[in-house]
Amino acid sequence: MTTMSETNNRKIYVCSALRGDMEQNIEKAKCYCRYVVEDFGYIPVAPHIYFTQFLNDCIPEEREFGIRAGLLLLSGCDELWYFGDNITRGMTEEINYALSHGIPVKYIPSQYYDAYLPGKEIIFEQ
């Protein structure tokens, strides 16, 4: 485990579901980002957390803008890590984009980030 003071410049695109229970999925995405920072000291890039603050995912034009803008952010990342048991249409687009642009794609099984999910106790070293 690293500390936040040991930040590495690697940018990891956090790919996870948004649709469905959006509020819960955003909370999960925050936990995935925490895992990327706490366990690796990498910089998480999770546009579905950021863009949902000002775009409405239920409006098709705004959703498409968010997906396109997310892909632009993905193009500047070192890797794409995907989380969760279900791969959505948006996740599929992101994964395919990464693969077609030579960006490594990695699946992260839940046992690695389970402690960061809501309802789990996290003990941070001092």
pLDDT value of residue 45: 98
pLDDT value of residue 115: 81
pTM score, whole prediction? 0.86
pLDDT value of residue 56: 93
Asked whether residue 126 is assigned to any structural domain, the reply reads no
pLDDT value of residue 57: 86
Provide the number of structural domains found in the chain: 1
DSSP 41: -
Asked whether residue 123 is assigned to any structural domain, the reply reads no
The low-confidence residues of the chain, meaning pLDDT below 50, are 122-126
pLDDT value of residue 119: 65
pLDDT value of residue 122: 46
Asked whether residue 77 is assigned to any structural domain, the reply reads yes
CATH number at residue 68: 3.40.50.450
pLDDT value of residue 123: 46
Q: Give Cβ neighbours of residue 107 (< 8 Å, ≥ 6 apart).
A: 81, 82
pLDDT value of residue 126: 46
* Rounded Cα–Cα distance for residues 118 and 70 (Å): 25
Q: How many Å separate Cα 39 from the centre of its chain?
A: 15
pLDDT value of residue 112: 83
Asked whether residue 120 is assigned to any structural domain, the reply reads no
Its domain, for residue 18, covers: 4-115
pLDDT value of residue 2: 58
Alpha helices in 1-126 (DSSP H): 22-40, 47-50, 60-74, 89-100, 110-113
* Rounded Cα–Cα distance for residues 116 and 31 (Å): 5
